Amino acid sequence: MTDTAILQGIRVLDMTSVIFGPYCTATLAEMGAEVIKIEPGTGDEIRRVGKPRFTRGMGPAHMTLNRGKRSVVWDLKSADGQERLRRLLSRCDVFIHNLRSDALARLGLDYDSVKAVREDIVVVHCTGFGSDGPYAGRAAYDDIIQAASGAASLLSRTDGNPQPRFLPMAMADKVSGLHAVYAVLGAVLHRQRTGRGQAVEVPMFECFTHFLLQDHLYGRAFVPPQESVGYPRQLDPQRQPIKSLDGYLSIAPYTDERWVRFFEITGHSDFLQRECLNSPRERFRGLDLMQAKMARMVAEHSSEYWLELLARHDIPACRVNDLEDLFSDPHLAATAFFRERDHPSEGRYLEMRSPVRFSGAQAEPVSAAPLLGEHTEEVSRWLVDHSTW
């Protein structure tokens, strides 16, 4: 018996845009789901982010975030477009969207209307804020969620600069996209067990705050609070990359046993004999002292010296890579994380392999990101004659 992809046979109607929803549906496609993306005539705006090589609407972010999907353009304001959409809904297991409530109502895509088309469909709403709070219905982008969640205050806590700053990536979008992945999987599993579909809400604000406070809730976990909010280990100003003679390293002894070993192998055991560092409890309290001492020592030798020494004594350490360094990283090369492929219209492009591996499933490369409306006619014909793709 040939193993099949994990989500083979699951069909997803995707009406999401930008990063949050598309990251979710690209991940589902990598696991074998069949994803049909309905786009407006102008296309998902992520198509216009970055510089395309040849074709308009084929920017680099689209090449990554919309891999493995079919692109369909229908006029959903027309009777014909709405009829085609209803037919497609009747043949999909999951409908995922980031439409606001007023747009849903205009298109007849509220849950009750969709459920009337297919009783057991799973409807997943990627939204900015939960529908039962005062922020419901507000537009939300990554910057808004980083600001609202407290993420923009984190860097200020580590370096003393009071100016709030965004973490320089679309972290809230991507974290929320992964929440949406498990939301889809959980709802599909529930349907398989019960035969019932359901409406699922995935709000960015709550998703990202839930993610952020897993460690940073800290002392506020107790009522009344025992300590302040914010995990001190993560907010320690000393917990930063360390400069060697010729670069930067991340060194993470972490456990008490490894800290003791670090000072032993470097010939500085006497440093731990001082009263404030002579027991595990005292060393935990004195992490800042040990970090500062380690930084002074690391500055005296090359990165290669430290990587060889620390690896030999099982103390976790690595170079601090620049983004460009990732494309020559030996581990990523050995695991074939990056691979070059040919796009029918855009030529050679770089793809990242899914980081999750299933032993009992095929891991075939997904199809390349589609041209705008590339599959409109194909899907339209399929809805009429039920032919295979």
pLDDT in tens, the chain (389 residues): 457 889 999 999 999 999 999 999 999 999 999 999 999 999 999 999 999 999 999 999 999 999 999 999 999 999 999 999 999 999 999 999 999 988 898 899 999 999 999 999 999 999 999 999 999 999 999 999 999 999 999 999 999 899 999 999 999 999 999 999 999 999 999 999 999 999 999 999 999 999 999 999 999 999 999 999 999 989 988 889 999 999 999 999 999 999 999 999 999 999 999 889 999 999 988 988 999 999 999 999 999 999 999 999 999 999 999 999 999 999 999 999 999 999 999 999 999 999 999 988 777 789 999 999 999 999 999 999 866 55
Same domain, 343 and 247: no
- Taking the CA atoms of residue 203, residue 209, residue 212 and residue 215 in that order, the dihedral angle to the nearest 10 degrees is -120
Q: Is residue 197 part of a domain?
A: yes
Same domain, 39 and 154: yes
Same domain, 111 and 191: yes
Same domain, 156 and 249: no
Which residue type sits at 122?
Answer: V
Q: How far is CA 161 from the centre of its chain?
A: 28
Q: Is residue 195 part of a domain?
A: yes
- Look at the block and give the residue holding tokens 């392999």: 353
d(Cα 117, Cα 255) in Å, to the nearest integer?
57
Same domain, 30 and 117: yes
Same domain, 202 and 165: yes
- Look at the block and give the residue holding tokens 């991507």: 174
Question: What's residue 387's pLDDT?
Answer: 63
Question: What's residue 7's pLDDT?
Answer: 95
Burial category of 214 from C-beta neighbours within 10 Å (exposed 0-12, middle 13-18, buried 19 and up):
exposed
Same domain, 281 and 356: no
Q: Is the dihedral of CA 112, 44, 175, 157 positive or negative?
A: negative
Among residues 291, 319, 347, which one ends one of the domains? 319
Among residues 267, 286, 319, which one ends one of the domains? 319
Q: Is residue 5 part of a domain?
A: no
70-122 confidence digits (pLDDT tens): 999 999 999 999 999 999 999 999 999 999 988 898 899 999 999 999 999 99
Q: Is residue 26 part of a domain?
A: yes
- The closest of 261, 242, 260 to 251, measured between CA atoms, is 242
Query: Could you tell me the residue range of the domain that residue 356 belongs to?
Result: 11-212+333-385
Same domain, 19 and 139: yes
- What CATH number should be reported for the domain holding residue 267? 3.30.1540
- What CATH number should be reported for the domain holding residue 205? 3.40.50.10540
Same domain, 108 and 193: yes
Which residue type sits at 334?
Answer: A
Q: Is residue 299 part of a domain?
A: yes
Q: Is residue 93 part of a domain?
A: yes
d(Cα 71, Cα 36) in Å, to the nearest integer?
6
Do residues 322 and 270 make contact, with C-beta atoms less than 8 angstroms apart? no
Q: Is residue 233 part of a domain?
A: no
Q: Is residue 237 part of a domain?
A: no
User: Across-strand partners of 123?
Assistant: 95, 199
Same domain, 172 and 299: no
Question: What's residue 42's pLDDT?
Answer: 96
Among residues 286, 319, 352, which one ends one of the domains? 319
Burial category of 389 from C-beta neighbours within 10 Å (exposed 0-12, middle 13-18, buried 19 and up):
exposed
- Look at the block and give the residue holding tokens 């690209």: 26
Three-state helix/strand/coil letters over the chain: CCCCCCCCCCEEEEECCCCHHHHHHHHHHHCCCEEEEEECCCCCHHHHCCCCCCCCCCCHHHHHHCCCEEEEECCCCCHHHHHHHHHHHHCCCEEEECCCHHHHHHHCCCHHHHHHHCCCCEEEEEECCCCCCCCCCCCCCHHHHHHHHCHHHHHHHHHCCCCCCCCCCCHHHHHHHHHHHHHHHHHHHHHHHHCCCEEEEEEHHHHHHHHHHHHHCHHHHCCCCCCCCCCHHHHCCCCCCEECCCCEEEECCCCHHHHHHHHHHCCCHHHHHCHHHCCHHHHHHCHHHHHHHHHHHHCCCCHHHHHHHHHHCCCCEEECCCHHHHHHCHHHHHCCCEEEEEECCCEEEEEECCCCCCCCCCCCCCCCCCCCCCCHHHHHHHHHHCCCC
Same domain, 208 and 265: no
Number of domains the chain is built from? 2
- 0.75 exceeded by pTM: yes
Which residue type sits at 387?
Answer: S
Same domain, 160 and 122: yes
